[in-house]
Chains A and B, each alone.
Chain A
Amino acid sequence: NAGVTQTPKFRVLKTGQSMTLLCAQDMNHEYMYWYRQDPGMGLRLIHYSVGEGTTAKGEVPDGYNVSRLKKQNFLLGLESAAPSQTSVYFCASSHHGQRAFFGQGTRLTVV
Chain B
Amino acid sequence: GDSVTQMEGPVTLSEEAFLTINCTYTATGYPSLFWYVQYPGEGLQLLLKATKADDKGSNKGFEATYRKETTSFHLEKGSVQVSDSAVYFCALITLQGAQKLVFGQGTRLTINP
User: Measuring CB to CB, which residues of chain A are less than 8 angstroms from any residue of chain B?
Assistant: 4, 31, 33, 35, 40-45, 48, 50, 56, 58, 90, 92, 94, 96-100, 102-105
Interface range for B: 20 to 34
List chain B residues, Cβ under 8 A from A50. 99
| B32 to A, closest residue via Cβ | A97
Is there an interface contact between A56 and B106, defined as CB atoms closer than 8 Å? Answer: no
List chain B residues, Cβ under 8 A from A90. 43-44
List chain B residues, Cβ under 8 A from A97. 32, 51, 93, 95, 99
Is there an interface contact between A104 and B42, defined as CB atoms closer than 8 Å? Answer: yes
A106 CB to closest chain B CB (Å) equals 10
A6 CB to closest chain B CB (Å) equals 9
User: Measuring CB to CB, which residues of chain B are less than 8 angstroms from any residue of chain A?
Assistant: 6, 32, 34, 36, 42-46, 49, 51, 89, 93, 95, 98-106
B24 CB to closest chain A CB (Å) equals 14
Q: Which of B46, B93, B99, B105 is the one whose CB lies under 8 Å from A42?
A: B105
A9–B100 Cα gap in the complex (Å)?
A: 25
A41–B100 Cα gap in the complex (Å)?
A: 18
List chain A residues, Cβ under 8 A from B103. 35, 42-45
Is there an interface contact between A40 and B105, defined as CB atoms closer than 8 Å? Answer: yes
Q: Which of B6, B43, B95, B99 is the one whose CB lies under 8 Å from A104?
A: B43
| A56 to B, closest residue via Cβ | B98
| A94 to B, closest residue via Cβ | B101
Instruction: Identify the 5 closest CB pairs spanning chains A and B, nearest first.
Output: A42-B105, A102-B43, A43-B103, A102-B44, A42-B106
Q: Which of A44, A45, A99, A105 is the one whose CB lies under 8 Å from B46?
A: A99
Is there an interface contact between A102 and B99, defined as CB atoms closer than 8 Å? Answer: no
Is there an interface contact between A105 and B89, defined as CB atoms closer than 8 Å? Answer: no
Is there an interface contact between B99 and A99, defined as CB atoms closer than 8 Å? Answer: no
